Amino acid sequence: MSHKNKEEDKRGVSTLVSYVFLIVIVVTLAILVYSWLKPVIPQDTAECPEKITLVISNITCDSDTDKVKIKIKNKGLFNVDGINLKISDDIEKSPSKDLVFDMEQGDMLNAEEPLSKGGFLYFKFGLQPGEEFTIEGDYSGQTSIKRILIQALKIIDGEGILCENAILKEEVENCD
């Protein structure tokens, strides 16, 4: 009788071992599928808030010195941390030339960032909703300014994000 119990015990152990192997195989397959799909699944990306709106309230040009003053206003609901400003001397072409900002605006700029790298201007404390700011720049590399493009920039998790939903394009008159 004792011989029969040992045989039943062996069958119970072999069934248990087969279940363990089955679980190990399933977990291994799940890990393989996860590692294969992880790069394919899109990751969360930082985006600008929807309600960011910039407007140009005034543009003044001095053709003798090739200087321009552009007054912008934040009419949105969120702070704007910076802008990207491009100009064009052709009404038909999209603005692609960076405006060179005057150095005298240093008190409004974030000191850690380059002053005019790629036409970017960073506000030290952000441009608050309802606040206006006058940008002064030099367009001496252009014959005139016919079009301006201003794109809002937010700093999210330490990274500058250009706001695709906050692009302002405007035609300019009397800036020859």
Quote the domain boundaries for residue 14. 1-43
Into how many domains does the chain fold?
A: 2
Residues 15 and 59 in one domain: no
List beta partners, residue 135: 70
- Give the CATH number for residue 123: 2.60.40
DSSP category for residue 118 = G
> Each residue of 45-61: pLDDT tens digit?
777 888 888 998 888 88
Q: Are 116 and 83 in contact (CB under 8 A)?
A: no
**If you search the block for the tokens 């150095």, which residue do you land on?**
103
Residues 85 and 24 in one domain: no
Residues 72 and 134 in one domain: yes
Residue 169 above 80 pLDDT? yes
> Each residue of 109-130: pLDDT tens digit?
444 443 446 678 887 778 889 9
Between CA 115 and CA 30 the distance in angstroms is 50
